[in-house]
Amino acid sequence: MSPTGAGREPEALRAPECLRLLGTRDVGRIAFTAGALPVLQPVSYLLSGQELLVPVDARSELADAARAAVLALQVDDVDADGRTGWDVTVLGPSRLVHDPDQVARLDRWGVRPWFPATRHCYVMLRAATLSGRRLRTGPAPRPSTGTTSVPIWAR
């Protein structure tokens, strides 16, 4: 394979495939703002319909930043040797769930905070916009129609 990437074809992913791929992983990177600066950090998550449940330490910067904010979460799968893989980005409004009864109910799903937490809560991220790409060797499948970064309700 050429170092320029010749022979690798990108494919834009539609919303249903993005959601399917999100469901195959349980760790991603979340982007938020803290002190007017962008922050990226790994988080564990669970996909429930079109909402991501992200358990976090209740006293963390992420918990502070997630109160009625727009967040982004990115998940990928990469074959470094073959230089192929896929990525999915979720963008949407978030809300914080810290009521002890609601947290206990969400705990039954079995997802635990990526970083240790003495007391945790949940960031609920609604997948308002999904975009994704797949890079594989050889010709790409038939091109999809439409744009990939549009709200999923518009598809």
Q: Is the pLDDT of residue 140 over 60?
A: no
Q: Tens digits of per-residue pLDDT, 65-113?
A: 998 799 999 999 999 888 899 999 999 999 999 999 999 999 999 999 9
Structure confidence at residue 9 (pLDDT): 77
Q: Is the pLDDT of residue 6 over 80?
A: no
- Spell out the domain ranges in the chain: 10-133
**What percent of the chain has a predicted confidence (pLDDT) above 70?**
84
Confidence tier at 124 by pLDDT (50, 70, 90) = very high
Token pair listed for 138: 């050889």
Q: How far is CA 7 from CA 10, 27, 83, 85, 143, in A?
A: 10, 30, 11, 14, 16
Q: Tens digits of per-residue pLDDT, 63-74?
A: 999 987 999 999
Q: Is the pLDDT of residue 48 over 50?
A: yes
Strands 37-44 and 8-13: unpaired
Enter the DSSP assignment of 75.
E
Q: Are 13 and 134 in contact, with CB atoms under 8 Å apart?
A: yes
What is 86-118 written as a DSSP string? EEEEEEEEEEEE--HHHHHHHHTT----SS--S
Query: What number is the average pLDDT over the span 17-33?
Result: 96
Structure confidence at residue 7 (pLDDT): 65
Structure confidence at residue 139 (pLDDT): 52
State which CATH number among 3.40.605.10, 2.30.110.10, 3.30.1280.10, 1.10.357.10 fits the domain covering 10-133.
2.30.110.10
